[in-house]
Chains A and B, each alone.
Chain A
């Protein structure tokens, strides 16, 4: 069918198919570009400007001087981050707390995911549902629930005092311990789900083969199950670790005034001190820390997606 014999409608259809593709890609692309990527560039820009008492409260980066554009890069914010040990402490604290929480979440989540993956058909979907359900209920309320439990006048203390094990209430809320509990509690489903999906896909006869060839159950686990579930462990750990580093609500509600975490620092710079440039610099520094794990996470996602296709 040579092109001059095409009807007008056919031509229109082919044009639509050729350009419709661009349209389907273009709309979400443009949206994500404008509302996800561009904002980071703006944060970067503002992190180089100075705080001012103005609306908005920062100095302009570009200025017209003598009919030319001058760019005043101000590294002061970053120097300030370096000079004040508060920020370094907050960063290190965040990474430490996030890492420890991730390990605890893995230790609790792995046996659960394994148990669910090995459960029988209908039981499996019920258990899976039970893991997902809390994830759908309000995050804030789940954190809030722990206030009532860990508080000085909370349920654990009341119970322990009643049994007579302790005579003085334990200080649990407003400690780092409470932050661990909060993070593990809220992020547990994020660990279990990717673990479950790799464990569920795993052929059980692989373990049987290992047992058949003389492995003890724990050896079969260490030599077969564990290496095969590594992608799930990685995905789950990153899903917990990355957001936990920037967590604000949990340290704010459960942690003490000394539990410095970077998300909280950013929040305070922004809302309490109204220092937008410093808040931006804090955000950029946090991103620099997180870029590697985020890229890693994306890499795993892409690999998984290619595996499915």
Chain B
């Protein structure tokens, strides 16, 4: 286990309610059991097991072709798993067609019916269930109120803006009160500004209606802002599942560390492993890395220390103690972004280290310039140790 004990210790009684995944007695609401989906010879999803709990806003995160959408479509019933089982609320979904599943989906393209008005679009699901006319009218009005689209009830989809259509799609997929709402890149078609605003709106609506949301996205920022937990997927398998915090601070692989945010990966071998600390010697960086917890491994094993750029300190003078966690180099690139600056420091070994520093005070001129000799150092707790 590469995660320090202290983090695991936090899983005590009072978080069981808000973090059911840390409660061994909690019953998962959605369960994937060894699900595999093959298209021809290609494994789109490869032996995935995954539990999602009630009221979660769960995000499947990964690049294109990682299998996240296939996983979602299998939950919706558009694709049948090649093998494995899917349960929703304890019911085996095998052979249950899409139109009988307790799920509804919000499509990436929104898939609004172009020949129907906003009202008719939203009412469609209820009409299929044979709900009475007066009840439909009432529910549609309520739902359009929730997404603030009451004014546009009579419009056709082509008369709406992208953001408005997104709301209609949301209303349409929520109106049947599904057990699970599936969202396929829900904000993918919106521009950046609208996207940020809508992220919080979606979270608020989810809290209001209490439905379990499962969302597919390729945007790590979106996943981190919205999701209670995230599954990072790559090549049909789940690399890591965890809260945004856990994934960022304690990635379990170089892939996850790289995928969420930016990271410096420093390769080295374990030279000292104690109960309380460990030391990794890196030829690549030309330094020894001191870790403030034990690493399970034998000496001589290869590890990677993953250090976020914002956890690195940049100084002109050498720090007091240069034995551990400290390298020197030359500033090679500078990116001034206003709020922060990023620096690329070239080490003697040729490796480049990326450092970001907040510009928390106003300066007369930039702190560093090209070819400045600098020291890069970090705290003992800053690095995550990865073995894959």
Contact = CB atoms under 8 A, between A and B. Distances in A.
**Do A and B have CB atoms closer than 8 angstroms in the complex?**
yes
Given A1-B92, A1-B93, A14-B97, 8 more contacts: A1-B91, A1-B95, A1-B96, A1-B100, A2-B92, A3-B95, A10-B100, A17-B97
11 contacts: A1-B91, A1-B92, A1-B93, A1-B95, A1-B96, A1-B100, A2-B92, A3-B95, A10-B100, A14-B97, A17-B97
A17 B93 CA distance: 17
Interface of B: 91-93, 95-97, 100
Interface in A1-21: 1-3, 10, 14, 17
Nearest to B93: A1
Q: Which 3 pairs from chain A and chain B are nearest by CB?
A: A1-B96, A1-B91, A1-B92
Interface string A143-182: 0000000000000000000000000000000000000000
Contacts of B95: 1, 3
Nearest to A3: B95
A106 B92 CA distance: 60
Nearest to A5: B91
Nearest to A2: B92
Contacts of B97: 14, 17
A10 B96 CA distance: 10
A35 to B, nearest CB: 34
A14 B77 CA distance: 14
Contacts of A10: 100
A110 B65 CA distance: 40
Nearest to A14: B97
A17 B77 CA distance: 15
Contacts of B100: 1, 10
Contacts of A3: 95
Interface residues of A, number: 6
Nearest to B94: A1
Nearest to B99: A13
B317 to A, nearest CB: 52
A1 B93 CA distance: 7
A17 B92 CA distance: 20
Contacts of B91: 1
Contacts of A2: 92
B176 to A, nearest CB: 17
Contacts of A17: 97
Nearest to A17: B97
A10 B100 CA distance: 9
Nearest to A10: B100
A3 B95 CA distance: 9
Interface in A232-254: none
B91 to A, nearest CB: 6
Contacts of B92: 1-2
B77 to A, nearest CB: 12
B96 to A, nearest CB: 5
Nearest to B91: A1
Contacts of A14: 97
A17 to B, nearest CB: 7
A11 to B, nearest CB: 12
Nearest to B96: A1
Counting chain A CB atoms within 10 Å of each CB, which of B92, B93, B95 scores highest? B95
A2 B95 CA distance: 9
A197 B301 CA distance: 61
Contacts of A1: 91-93, 95-96, 100
B94 to A, nearest CB: 8
A38 B91 CA distance: 50
B70 to A, nearest CB: 17
Interface string A12-56: 001001000000000000000000000000000000000000000
A2 B90 CA distance: 12
A104 B170 CA distance: 57
A10 B92 CA distance: 16
A57 B96 CA distance: 60
Contacts of B93: 1
A10 B97 CA distance: 10
B296 to A, nearest CB: 44
A10 B95 CA distance: 12
B179 to A, nearest CB: 13
B368 to A, nearest CB: 40
A7 to B, nearest CB: 11
A171 to B, nearest CB: 59
A3 to B, nearest CB: 7
A14 B92 CA distance: 17
A14 B99 CA distance: 11
Interface in A258-296: none
A17 B96 CA distance: 12
Interface in A98-120: none
A194 B92 CA distance: 50
B112 to A, nearest CB: 22
A17 B91 CA distance: 22
B75 to A, nearest CB: 15
A3 B96 CA distance: 10
A14 B91 CA distance: 18
A75 B92 CA distance: 65
A15 to B, nearest CB: 12
A1 B92 CA distance: 6
Counting chain A CB atoms within 10 Å of each CB, which of B92, B93, B100 scores highest? B100
B92 to A, nearest CB: 7
A275 B141 CA distance: 75
A17 B99 CA distance: 12
B223 to A, nearest CB: 30
A117 B100 CA distance: 47
A1 B96 CA distance: 7
A196 B100 CA distance: 45
A251 B91 CA distance: 71
B30 to A, nearest CB: 15
Interface string A52-91: 0000000000000000000000000000000000000000
A30 B92 CA distance: 38
B189 to A, nearest CB: 21
A14 to B, nearest CB: 7
A33 B92 CA distance: 42
Counting chain B CB atoms within 10 Å of each CB, which of A1, A10, A17 scores highest? A1
